[in-house]
Structure 1
Amino acid sequence: MDVGYLVTRKLFGHHHDKNSTDKACPTDPTNVPADQMKPVVGSFMFHDLATILAGACSLATLLIVSVAIVRHATNFTNPIQQRQVIRILLLVPWVALFSFLIVWQEDAGEYLVESLDFGCSIAISAFLLLLCDYVLSNTGGFDELFGQGASKVVREGLDSPKWLKRIWYMALQFFPVSVIVWIATAISVAVGIYCGASNRPKFAHIWLQVIKIASTTFAILACFRFYHMKKDQLAPHKVMLKFFAFKGIIGLNAIQVFVIGILVGNDTIKPTEHMTYHDVKTALPSLMLACEMPLFALVLIFAFPVGVYKAEGCSPAAGPLSAMVQAFNITDLMSCFVRGPMRLVRDQQWGMQRSQSFPLPAEGGEVMSEGGYAAQPYGYSAHPRV
């Protein structure tokens, strides 16, 4: 018999038990009554132990990342870049917090699980904009990004190159798709057609998982493609370390949820007298993710150091409160599809000029200050490269 058919049947097949039919989503397949569940350690049930462990890891993650965020906010010398850095750093406590809530609140777990991808989508969108800012920080960076001569005609409505548009929309589609998948998941769970216990095509669960995996993959590949094309300009910024530091979170989240979902749906992993169906299907991958977050928090601190934004005679362009407001204001990410690369980057350049975090290149290659006088080259030493 064809191997492909067997694999497909195994993936989308649905086990039969006394609680399931072909037309309905099976209920919790746990055969052990709730009052007969046995503790895992001492008197602690798995849910209690998992909640404590996830909560402790989430708190540790929050404390570690808070130190890094406060340091960036108090040394906010480059608002355009550092607001993206803070957004990326915020991914770790976001994932840790919602992982804890998913473990703790059993009934709300399936409604909350897609919040993880929403946080990842903001971080990956911010990362793409940060890569664009890194290229722009080099001398002639605008021409490097948009083509030779682009800096001279930027105000004449020059369009973005096709390669940049493809990368731009491939990466940024993750943001709206994550919102749609989260809403679709909540609705399908509420009306009873989600069915995380089954991978049959008639239920929404498997299709939403496939969409999520595809969207995540496209976004990651797009950022990697951008790095590959602008490797020389990005070399001083240790982009690969930054790339794997936070994209590991995205990859682990997608892989762990998908693999465990497949294994549970095919009865490879089953509930036991120690773990309920919810513990296996929803709490286990979230617990694993929560425990991994303190390690990722430490890696991100080294990947996005604040020291590079400290320079002699360079004072913060905004206070800590303003820095946090700018980081939480994601209207630039929400408007990326409407404005496109050229318009958004041009708006960011105007922001650089207003905040004095970077001087802008004049048409003749010189850098002009706000008053119109020649300044140092774009990417000058007072603002070292990241």
Structure 2
Amino acid sequence: MWVPTNSLADILRILLMVPIYAAVSFASYLFWNHSTALLLIRDCYEAIVLTSFFYLILNYLSHDPEEQKDIFRKVGLSRENDREARRRGAPLAHWVFPLQSVGWKPEDGLYFLQLMKWGVLQYCVIRPLTTLAAVILNYIGLYCDDSWSPGWGHLYITIIMSISVTIAMYCLIQLYMPIAGHLAPHKPLLKLFAVKAVVFLTFWQETLISGLEDVGVIKNVR
């Protein structure tokens, strides 16, 4: 099957995640004294994966940016589309869980697209910046990834990342919902779950294990 160049580039960047994760994880065992910095840099690749998947979805929708905008004008979550739905007697669209009770919506579908884009791509800025900050703090002895004490940088980096990754994944899912029918031929749902598992679940798994270790539920064997 022929794949356009821009979609192929996004697919390749996503597929490279596996060898990059494997290589950096192996290097962290070889150079264990630099493992924190290496693993932080490895995790930074999540931002590239998320960005690539976001643009892959848009390219699946249409390779023409203007056509993408036209589709979102018609189906995006917005007050304008709510008015059209009421006129036709159709059910109104809502935000996905857990914000389904929030009444505010963007004025039109194009603004909805921009909001979702900002929500996803903010992670692609914040992740590298927090990674850089964590690497610097680690080398000057102020990071301490084993501690949740407010005296160490790990706590603040984790809080910032928790907020950023949650917003990014929520916006990616919300972006997908109105255009799910348009994307059905490409079967992107499993791909979406895979990216969600890599970016969202991996982060929260590491955070949970670190927190359990800090309170003594899990013992550090190093």
> What's the TM-score bracket when you normalise by the shorter of the two chains?
0.7 to 0.9
Partner in structure 1 of residue 25 of structure 2: 99
User: Where in structure 2 are the equivalents of 1:184-333 lying within 5 Å?
Assistant: 184-271=133-220, 275-276=221-222
Partners of 1:134 and 1:234 within 8 A in 2: yes
| Aligned AA (1:186) | V
Partners of 1:135 and 1:145 within 8 A in 2: no
Partners of 2:10 and 2:56 within 8 A in 1: yes
Q: Distance in 2 between matches of 1:269 and 1:77?
A: 47
Partner in structure 2 of residue 144 of structure 1: 71
Partners of 2:169 and 2:200 within 8 A in 1: no
Partners of 1:199 and 1:265 within 8 A in 2: yes
Shift in alpha-carbon separation, 1:145–1:191, aligned structure 2, 3 A: same
Structure number with greater CO (CA < 8 Å, separation at least 6) is 1
**Unaligned 5+ runs, structure 1:** 1-74, 149-159, 277-386
Shift in alpha-carbon separation, 1:137–1:101, aligned structure 2, 3 A: same
Partners of 1:114 and 1:181 within 8 A in 2: no
CA RMSD of aligned residues (A): 2.4
**Alpha-carbon offset, residue 185 of structure 1:** 0.6
**Unaligned 5+ runs, structure 2:** 76-108
Partners of 2:69 and 2:110 within 8 A in 1: no
TM-score normalised to the size of structure 2? 0.76
> Any idea what SS the aligned residue of 1:270 has?
coil
Shift in alpha-carbon separation, 1:135–1:249, aligned structure 2, 3 A: same
Q: Deviation per CA, 1:336-372, whole angstroms, max 9, x where unpaired? A: xxxxxxxxxxxxxxxxxxxxxxxxxxxxxxxxxxxxx
Partner in structure 2 of residue 127 of structure 1: 53
Q: Distance in 1 between matches of 2:196 and 2:34?
A: 26
**Alpha-carbon offset, residue 162 of structure 1:** 1.2
**Alpha-carbon offset, residue 269 of structure 1:** 2.2
**Alpha-carbon offset, residue 234 of structure 1:** 1.2
More helix by share: 2
Q: Distance in 2 between matches of 1:192 and 1:141?
A: 48
TM-score normalised to the size of structure 1? 0.45
| Aligned AA (1:145) | F
| Aligned AA (1:171) | V
Please list every run of at least 4 consecutive aligned residues from structure 1 whose deviation after the TM superposition is greater than 6 angstroms. none
| Aligned AA (2:215) | N
**Alpha-carbon offset, residue 137 of structure 1:** 5.1
